[in-house]
Amino acid sequence: MKKYFQPGKKLIIGCFALFFITSLIPVTEGLPIEQEDSSIETNDSERIYLSGAIGENGWIIGPQIFHLQFALTISWQGNATHTPISNGETRQVNITIGYTVTRGAFGKFLLRLLEGRSFTIRLSIEDTPEWCEPWFTQENFTGVVQLDENEHTTTSLFIHVNDDAPNDYSQGWVKAHAWIEDLKGPFRIFTLILGYEKQFTISFVNGPHGR
């Protein structure tokens, strides 16, 4: 069963906050103000993560030794779109969303403290032919941070082909986007778990059945 975030853990996480705040490096010069990036590469063994756009708040988080990051997998049955979708038809594609938190060598202790924290998984439609109308039955999901566990949830994508579609076995597609935002620490000063995003495409053919 899911574990709920215990209030007693807030004090311990607060101590981590103080540890990181004292290691913050003030940004003075040499960084572009308008450039946005999630990281600056320093060398192969050290990566520095920012808590926003470079130069936005004047602080850089120290080297990320815990390296906690969300991860997503998206899967569906390919035979759901194997048969052509004819004009006026609506096809259902069942989708499985897997999610977990990956960690570095020192991340297990911090991840254990974060168990029970909730986060949101989001889906959106990015692109499709003008003669196609797709939608998800559910676009937002609530996940819970677990230690070294792979969790799953499901949704359905419905693909409706309009009556004025070519109906000549043209290639159709639904390009979608799945993402989880960064999980922030107290006062949203630094990132506890890095976010993750993934693009995926479900292809199909528009035409009469029986070819």
Q: Are 155 and 125 in contact (CB under 8 A)?
A: no
Q: Are 157 and 93 in contact (CB under 8 A)?
A: yes
Token pair, residue 176, equals 């979608």
| Residue 2: inside a domain | no
Token pair, residue 178, equals 């799945």
Question: Could you report the per-residue pLDDT of 107-136, keeping only the tens digit for each?
Answer: 888 899 999 999 999 999 999 999 999 999
| Residue 116: inside a domain | yes
- Measured in degrees and rounded to the nearest 5, phi and psi for residue 161 equal -100, 125
- Split at pLDDT 50, 70, 90, the class of 23 is very low
Q: Of the ranges 25-34, 113-122, 128-137, 152-161, which one carries the lowest mean pLDDT score?
A: 25-34
- Split at pLDDT 50, 70, 90, the class of 78 is confident
Q: Residue 32's pLDDT is what? A: 39
Question: Which residue pairs from 151-154 have beta carbons closer than 8 angstroms and sit at least 24 positions apart in sequence?
Answer: 151/98, 151/99, 151/100, 152/96, 152/97, 152/98, 152/99, 153/96, 153/97, 153/99, 153/121, 154/94, 154/95, 154/96, 154/97
| Residue 54: inside a domain | yes
pLDDT at residue 173 above 70?
yes
Tell me the whole-structure pTM to 2 decimals.
Answer: 0.70
Residue 96, beta-bridge partner list: 75, 154
- Split at pLDDT 50, 70, 90, the class of 189 is confident
Question: Could you report the per-residue pLDDT of 53-68, keeping only the tens digit for each?
Answer: 333 333 333 335 788 9
| Residue 26: inside a domain | yes
DSSP 8: H
The domain of 191 spans: 8-206
| Residue 3: inside a domain | no
Into how many domains does the chain fold? 1
Sign of the CA dihedral running 48, 176, 149, 120: positive
